Amino acid sequence: MGKTEFYKHMKKLAIIVIMVGFASFSYGQNGKITVKQDPKISKLLEVYTAANSNRDFYTIQIGFGSYSEAEKLKQDAEIDFPQWKAKIVFDSPTYRVRIGRFNTKLEAERHFQLIREKYPQSLILRSEKK
């Protein structure tokens, strides 16, 4: 097979591949999916969310200060510990930054050692029941 024949063969192959690709693209199926869900599932999710929001948990406070200081600390914590949610809580007269939501004190203490290396002023807090 010479170079000319090879290029002709490759050109035909390329045209076939383009045609097959265009045909599969143009004949793709469009559809609509409808999910029928029992209304009791929505109610169950509401009950679950309410129950968990009133449940005791432990969190780790990593610092406090003015709002701008707390915002900066929160951003740093989200970079240092992306696996836990950081949030700012206003407790007059300061803004406090807390991370994590741990089910048991033991779980909080395990993570506390790691957090305290980066934020030495940290302390473990127990949530107040609502």
Q: How far apart, in whole angstroms, are the C-alpha atoms of residue 92 and residue 4?
A: 84
Report all structural domains of the chain as residue ranges with CATH numbers, in order of start. Answer: 57-126 (3.30.70.1070)
Nearest to 87 by CA among 70, 109, 66: 70
Instruction: Please tell me whether residue 17 adopts helix, strand or coil conformation.
Output: helix
Q: Which residue has the tokens 């609502």?
A: 130
Each residue's pLDDT, cut to its tens digit, for the chain (130 residues) gives: 666 777 777 787 778 777 766 666 555 566 788 888 788 888 888 887 777 666 789 999 999 999 999 999 999 999 999 999 999 999 889 999 999 999 899 999 999 999 999 999 999 999 865 5
In this structure, what token pair is assigned to residue 68?
């701008």
Assessment of whether the complete model's pTM goes beyond 0.75: no
